[in-house]
């Protein structure tokens, strides 16, 4: 009798937990519409929302949820967010300087490493995949492949995990946590992305950027735990960079007050929703390819295109021999280049920080070139000239010698 009661209780517990889990992330036909205090619809997402959750819209208006009535989510306006505080132009100036000086060959750390995984292995795109869920083989993996390919073109090393975490329930995050921990421990990536798709009508994510139809990207931040603020700032940095490079690509940010989503494991961990199940997968692939353009900026790296003719030159077939010009610089040359690169970039950074602006830094550099440096060279020339005069007019011997 006790065993039967326990079994019944366990069954009910599992059913209840699955119901809660599915409500957390994108089930078709059950999405949240955020309504502001004036009665306007300002945001739509497949995530079930709770009081205290917040959203940042595409035009950087922040709202906080205070009441839920079915799928209608009522939120108060918190304020406009100035993302310029999260976009550091000086970093990009240094990246451009480094690229201009062609120091990429001397960078010991390369252009960074990124890890990608999929908590919800089944997520798919109905117009392309035929159904919204394919256990263990969702179309979401192909979106991850597109992300991988695009990042590699920027010279970034990518580890794309094919691990399965079915079924699609809240325990999937517990299962994928092991995957994320393993990736972080073994690969030590600069950033890690959990790639999903949302579950809303197609128009929510559909857009056109640079003449191509793409699916937008939503960022999801787990605010629960000690790292919540850190991940929030990271998400804002991503949106700030994306707004500069591809305006309109980021649909918005969902800040889940009670969420975690394994983001406590790494300071650059983020969950991405790329389109919805109602969008075609190709548009999601184009959207994530545009997003890849932002990654070098948020990693603080210069983008170094790779692949055939990446440098605009046609190379000879076959492998370059060691020690040849085609084989690249030697270890000693690379070390010297690395040291010079660090000195140059460090000097540029110091000049920017000490003067406070690019304009003042330029003026100071110009002044140095026209006065101090010229005087220094002049003094050296004068000294050298005197030296030649002495050698040409040797001292005459003294009669007493």
pLDDT of res. 192: 98
- The series of mean pLDDT values per 10 residues for the chain, 401 residues long, is 47 39 52 97 97 98 97 98 80 50 47 95 98 96 98 97 95 97 98 98 97 97 92 97 97 96 97 98 98 95 55 33 31 41 59 60 59 49 46 40 38
What's domain 112-299's superfamily in CATH? Zn-dependent exopeptidases (3.40.630.40)
Domain positions in the chain are: 17-80, 86-110+331-376, 112-299
> 252 near 43, Cβ under 8 Å?
yes
pLDDT of amino acid 6: 46
Q: Model pTM?
A: 0.69
């Amino acid at each position: 009798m006790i065993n039967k009661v326990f079994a019944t209780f366990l069954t009910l517990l599992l059913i209840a937990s699955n119901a809660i889990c599915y409500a957390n992330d994108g089930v078709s036909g059950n999405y949240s519409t955020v309504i502001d205090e004036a009665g306007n619809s300002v945001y739509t997402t497949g995530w079930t929302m709770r009081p205290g959750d917040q959203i940042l819209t595409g035009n950087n208006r922040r709202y906080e949820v205070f009441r839920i009535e079915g799928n209608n989510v009522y939120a108060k306006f918190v304020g406009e967010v100035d993302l310029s505080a999260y976009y550091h132009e000086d970093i990009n100036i240094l990246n451009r300087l480094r690229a201009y000086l062609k120091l990429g060959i001397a960078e010991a750390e390369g252009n960074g490493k990124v890890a990608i995984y999929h908590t919800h292995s089944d997520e798919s795109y109905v117009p392309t995949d035929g159904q919204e869920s394919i256990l263990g083989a969702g179309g979401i993996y192909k979106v991850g492949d597109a992300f991988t390919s695009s990042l590699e073109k920027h010279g970034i090393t990518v580890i794309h995990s094919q691990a399965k975490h079915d079924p699609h329930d809240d325990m999937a995050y517990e299962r994928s946590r092991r995957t994320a921990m393993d990736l972080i421990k073994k690969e030590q990536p600069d950033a890690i992305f959990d790639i999903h798709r949302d579950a809303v009508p197609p128009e929510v994510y559909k857009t056109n950027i640079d003449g191509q139809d793409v699916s937008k990207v939503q960022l999801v931040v787990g605010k629960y735990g000690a790292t919540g603020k850190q991940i929030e700032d990271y998400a804002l940095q991503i949106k700030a960079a994306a707004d500069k490079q591809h305006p309109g690509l980021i649909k918005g940010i969902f800040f889940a007050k009670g969420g975690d989503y394994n983001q406590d494991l790494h300071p650059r961990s983020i969950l991405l929703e790329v389109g919805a199940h109602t969008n075609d997968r190709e548009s999601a692939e184009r959207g994530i390819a545009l997003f890849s353009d932002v990654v070098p900026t948020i990693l603080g790296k210069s983008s170094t295109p790779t692949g055939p003719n990446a440098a605009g030159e046609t190379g000879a077939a076959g492998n370059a021999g060691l020690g040849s010009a085609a084989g690249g610089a030697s270890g000693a040359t690379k070390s010297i280049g690395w040291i010079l690169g660090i000195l140059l970039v460090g000097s540029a950074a110091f000049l920017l920080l000490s003067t406070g602006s690019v304009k003042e830094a330029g003026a100071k550099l110009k002044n140095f070139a026209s006065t101090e440096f010229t005087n220094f060279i002049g003094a050296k020339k004068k000294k050298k000239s005197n030296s030649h005069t002495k050698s040409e007019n040797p001292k005459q011997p003294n009669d007493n010698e």
